[in-house]
Amino acid sequence: MIRDLINTNLDDLPIRGLAIHIIKNYVLKSPVGESFRVSNYSILLIKSGKLTVHFQQADQVLSDMDLLVIPSDSYCSIVQFEGKLQFYLITFSFEYAIKNSLRQELIEALQFIITRASIKIKLDEKEMLILSLIYKVLYFVTRDPAVSSNDNELHRISFNLFMYELRLLYAKHSNDFALQFTRKESLIIRFLTILSIHYRKQHNAQFYAGSLFVTAGYLNQMVKEITGKTVKKLIVETIISEAEKLLEDPQNTVSQIAEDLEFSSSNSFTIFFKRHTNLSPSQYRLSAMEKIKTR
């Protein structure tokens, strides 16, 4: 069952790229010890019971108030569980995390999904209460039909709240574990940090390569190996995501947004936006307003 939850097909969900599960009584469906590949980034929080998983050539024994970060493209097996096992589980894609949480203040949280290491944190009662409440909020906004189909901003806020809490946990507990990054992973983290700061003004891949003292080709190769996307694609997606949020506020005019995002004119911004979304800025805004009215 855990295998099925972790490997949920995120493309088939109402909120593409994100799934939340709250399990009140775990039932083992796959054979104990059967290894499986993890296809999504997953963060598991144990509420009660005891779970032992074999991960990266070592057993992880999890009990109440334990948080486990499970990277994608890794292998895991369930060794055993004891008692009434209850847990919260969030699974998401790299694309969803980058689109919704590429903020300078959240880079530390994004480090969790860049590294290939599993991370276990023992929470205290207050941390457990806060994080479990955030899981429940996310569960509600992804399961409620009216919310899940109409309110992208609520999804972003809820997911970012989760990422903020993850960042705080990292800052508090970082002495309990050492995140070790390969040179490739370190380069990606530095690229995402610079992108989160400069994406409004710098739209060219060469700027980011120069800032990192590597060639554009090398940066593109490393980024694609880790994320599956080119540098240019990530830049474009970051700009589009910001543009969509700005367009959802009717007080922002298209010309103001074009200026904020450093386009030479509102016309060039319109061409760029339509090329990547198949909608003009005005059409996107109208669609967003209609969704708000139907809540």
Alpha-carbon span 151 to 236, nearest angstrom: 22
Place 171 in a pLDDT band, splitting at 50, 70 and 90. confident
Place 156 in a pLDDT band, splitting at 50, 70 and 90. confident
What's the confidence (pLDDT) of residue 31? 61
Class of domain 2-176: mainly beta
CATH code given to domain 183-293: 1.10.10.60
Looking at mean pLDDT, say which of 67-76, 125-134, 185-194 comes out highest.
Answer: 125-134
pTM: predicted TM-score of the whole model, two decimal places: 0.80
**Averaged pLDDT, 79-89:** 89
Alpha-carbon span 102 to 122, nearest angstrom: 26
Place 149 in a pLDDT band, splitting at 50, 70 and 90. very low
Q: Which of 17, 14, 38, 19 is nearest to 135 (CA)?
A: 19
Tokens of 237: 């997606």
Domain extents in the chain: 2-176, 183-293
Greater model confidence, 71 or 207: 207
Question: Looking at the predicted structure, is the pLDDT value of residue 150 above 60?
Answer: no
What's the confidence (pLDDT) of residue 262? 95
Mean pLDDT score across all residues of the chain: 87
Question: 182: which residues sit within 8 A by CB, 6+ positions away?
Answer: none
Element (DSSP H or E) covering residue 246: helix 231-247
